[in-house]
Amino acid sequence: MPYLLLYAVIELATLVAIGSWLGLLPTLLLLVAGGLVGMWLVRREGTRAAFALASAVRLGRMPHAEVTDGALIGLAGLLILIPGVVSDALGLLLVLPPIRALARRRILLAAQRRVPVLRTVVIRDGHTVVDGVVVTQPSDPPPSGLRHLT
**What is the residue-level pLDDT of the chain in tens, covering all 150 positions?**
688 888 889 989 998 999 899 898 998 898 888 888 888 888 888 899 899 989 988 988 888 888 888 999 999 989 988 888 899 899 989 999 999 999 989 988 888 888 776 565 555 566 655 555 555 555 655 555 555 454
User: Would you state the torsion angle of the CA atoms of residues 81, 84, 87, 89, taken in this order, to the nearest 10 degrees?
Assistant: 110
pLDDT at 124: 54
Q: Where are the alpha helices (DSSP H) in 23-59?
A: 24-58
- The SS3 assignment for 61 reads coil
Closest CA to 31 of 77, 75, 98, 88: 88
Closest CA to 74 of 55, 49, 99, 37: 49
Amino acid code (one letter) for 106: R
d(CA 28, CA 50): 33
The helices-and-strands tally (H runs, E runs) of the chain is 5, 3
pLDDT at 115: 77
Q: Are 136 and 142 in contact (CB under 8 A)?
A: yes
Q: What is the sign of the dihedral through the CA atoms of 109, 112, 113 and 119?
A: negative
- The SS3 assignment for 90 reads helix
d(CA 76, CA 96): 10
The structure's pTM equals 0.67
Q: Are 30 and 88 in contact (CB under 8 A)?
A: no
- φ, ψ for residue 14 (rounded to 5)? -65, -45
